[in-house]
Amino acid sequence: MDTIAVDVLIVGAGGCGLNLSIFLADLGVDFLCVERSTRLANLPKAHYLNQRTMEILRQHGVADDIYAMGTPPENMSRAMWLTTLGGDGPHDRKVIHEMDGIGGSGDSQRAIYERDSACRSANLPLIRSEPIFRRHADARAPGRLRFGTELLGFSQDADGVTATIRDVASGEESTVRAQYLIAADGGRTIGKALGNKMVGPSGLAKNVTVHFTADLSKVLLDDRVMLHFFIHPTRRGPLASGALVPAGGADAKWGRHSKEWIFHFMVAPDDPAKFDEAVVSQQIRELLKLPDLQMDVHKISHWMIEAVLAERYQYGRVILAGDAAHRHPPASGLGLNTGIQDAHNLAWKLALVTRGQASAALLDSYEAERRPIGSFNVAWALSSYWNHLLSAASIFAIHPANVYEAVGQPDEDNEIAGLFADTPDGRMRRARTAEVFNTHRVEMYDHDVELGYVYEQGARIPDGTPAPARDPWGTVYVPTTRPGHRLPHAWLERDGQRVSTHDLLDDKASLVLIANARGAAWCEAARQLATELKLPLLAVRIAADGDALDADRAWQALSEVDETGALLVRPDAIVAWRARRGVADPHHELKQALQQILRPAH
The tens digit of pLDDT for each residue in 291-336 reads 999 999 999 988 889 999 999 999 999 999 999 999 999 999 999 9
Distance CA 60, CA 56 (A): 7
* Boundary-marking domain end, from 380, 411, 438: 380
Q: Same structural domain for residues 462 and 567?
A: yes
- Name 486's Cβ contacts closer than 8 Å, sequence gap at least 6: 52, 451, 452, 453, 573, 574, 575
Q: Which tens digits make up the pLDDT trace of 72-97?
A: 999 999 999 999 999 999 999 999 99
Tell me the CA distances in angstroms from 27 to 22, 140, 530, one per residue in order: 9, 10, 17
- Residue at 74 is within a domain: no
* Boundary-marking domain end, from 354, 380, 406: 380
Three-state DSSP class for residue 219: coil
- Given a cut of 80, is residue 416 above it in pLDDT? no
- Residue at 447 is within a domain: no
Element (H, E) at 35: strand 31-35
pLDDT, average across residues 182-190 = 95
- Residue at 314 is within a domain: yes
- Name 407's Cβ contacts closer than 8 Å, sequence gap at least 6: none
Q: Same structural domain for residues 42 and 145?
A: yes
- Residue at 499 is within a domain: yes
Name the range with the highest mean pLDDT among 107-111, 252-256, 266-270, 410-414: 107-111
Three-state DSSP class for residue 159: coil
Mean pLDDT of the chain: 93
* Per-residue confidence (pLDDT) for residue 361, from 0 to 100: 96
Write the DSSP string, 504-554.
Answer: GS-SS--EEEEE-TT-HHHHHHHHHHHHHTT--EEEEEBSTTSSBB-TTSH
pLDDT, average across residues 567-578 = 98
pLDDT, average across residues 495-501 = 95
pLDDT, average across residues 142-161 = 97
Beta-strand pair 225-231/296-304: unpaired
Nearest to 374 by CA among 323, 317, 446: 323
- Given a cut of 50, is residue 400 above it in pLDDT? no
Side-chain half-sphere of 440: how many Cα atoms within 13 Å?
27
- 581: domain range? 454-598
Please provide residue 541's backbone torsions phi and psi, each rounded to the nearest 5 degrees.
-110, 125
Nearest to 3 by CA among 181, 176, 179: 176
Number of domains in the chain: 2
- Given a cut of 90, is residue 425 above it in pLDDT? no
Q: Same structural domain for residues 345 and 485?
A: no
Give strand ranges (E) for 157-203.
Answer: 161-167, 173-183, 198-199
Three-state DSSP class for residue 161: strand
Q: Same structural domain for residues 334 and 471?
A: no
- CB 63 within 8 Å of CB 129: no
Alpha helices in 163-300 (DSSP H): 190-194, 277-288
- Name 531's Cβ contacts closer than 8 Å, sequence gap at least 6: none
- Residue at 498 is within a domain: yes
Q: Same structural domain for residues 60 and 189?
A: yes
Q: Same structural domain for residues 187 and 324?
A: yes
pTM for this predicted structure: 0.95
Number of Cβ within a 10 Å radius of residue 24: 30
* Per-residue confidence (pLDDT) for residue 238, from 0 to 100: 63
Q: Which tens digits make up the pLDDT trace of 447-497?
A: 999 999 999 999 999 999 999 999 999 999 999 999 999 999 999 999 999
Alpha helices in 96-254 (DSSP H): 110-116, 126-140, 190-194
- Given a cut of 60, is residue 210 above it in pLDDT? yes
- Residue at 153 is within a domain: yes
Alpha helices in 401-519 (DSSP H): 403-406, 412, 418-420, 424-437, 441-444, 447-451
* Lateral strand order in the sheet of 225-231: 95-100, 78-82, 225-231, 241-248, 260-267, 206-213, 296-304
What is the end-to-end Cα distance of the chain in Å, rounded?
Answer: 38
Q: Same structural domain for residues 185 and 55?
A: yes
Q: Which residue has the higher pLDDT, 202 or 339?
A: 339
Q: Same structural domain for residues 34 and 135?
A: yes
H and E: helices and strands count for the chain: 18, 26
pLDDT, average across residues 139-157 = 97
* Per-residue confidence (pLDDT) for residue 588, from 0 to 100: 97
Q: Which residue has the higher pLDDT, 415 or 572?
A: 572
* Per-residue confidence (pLDDT) for residue 601, from 0 to 100: 75
Calculate what percentage of the chain has a pLDDT beyond 90: 81
Number of Cβ within a 10 Å radius of residue 28: 13
Nearest to 492 by CA among 118, 178, 195: 118
Side-chain half-sphere of 21: how many Cα atoms within 13 Å?
32
- Residue at 157 is within a domain: yes
Distance CA 41, CA 22 (A): 18
Q: Same structural domain for residues 22 and 165?
A: yes
Q: Same structural domain for residues 42 and 187?
A: yes
| CATH assignment of the domain containing 464 | 3.40.30.120
- Name 224's Cβ contacts closer than 8 Å, sequence gap at least 6: 74, 75, 76, 77, 78, 101, 255
Tell me the CA distances in angstroms from 318 to 38, 187, 360, 523, 555, one per residue in order: 24, 13, 13, 37, 40
Percent helix / strand / coil, the chain, rounded to 5: 35, 25, 40
Write the DSSP string, 140-155.
Answer: HSTT-EEETEEEEEEE
- Given a cut of 70, is residue 407 above it in pLDDT? no
Tell me the CA distances in angstroms from 65 to 105, 375, 450, 507, one per residue in order: 19, 31, 21, 17
| CATH assignment of the domain containing 376 | 3.50.50.60
- CB 395 within 8 Å of CB 234: no
* Boundary-marking domain end, from 324, 357, 380: 380
- Residue at 162 is within a domain: yes
- CB 483 within 8 Å of CB 561: no
In single-letter form, the type of residue at position 54 comes to M
Q: Same structural domain for residues 130 and 17?
A: yes
Number of Cβ within a 10 Å radius of residue 537: 22
Q: Same structural domain for residues 554 and 459?
A: yes
